[in-house]
Amino acid sequence: MEIEKKFLLRRLPEELDRYPVRHMEQGYLCTDPVIRIRKSNDRYILTYKSRMGLEGQNDQGVRVNQEVEVPLNQSGYEHLREKTDGNLIRKDRYIIPLPDGHTGELDIFHGVLEGLVFIEVEFADSRDAKDFVPPEWFGDNVSDDHRYSNSYLSTCKDLSVFSIGKC
């Protein structure tokens, strides 16, 4: 089970380069349910993710998904990459320990999504998520905005979805 919140940023954290980074690409074979392939540095992963719901509203929004990951080898990944729909997402993910003990995964996108940045925080349970107080450098909670899901972003040709409402 994956319980998470996703936030925009007011600003990037200071000294971003001191945090571990994963250079990632991911593509989607299906978006409902989500079947995704991902390359993270030298790891290759196939993920099945089904949405279980969204709890709360506005800044209390919490996304809950059932998620199963299985390892792939490089040749399996490359074979499946040719079969993905939409755009291959490219991003750098910074792993940032937060003062309250949680970990933020800050994504900086490249390619057609250049300029998009957000951070996700995963939680042990729904109560943990609801009690979370984001650091001051976090911006709006966009957990309930489908435009920020990576599967949706893989269908976008550019960032116009954030200014006119559709890809």
Q: What is d(CA 163, CA 141) in angstroms, rounded to the nearest whole number?
A: 18
**Residues classed as catalytic:** 28
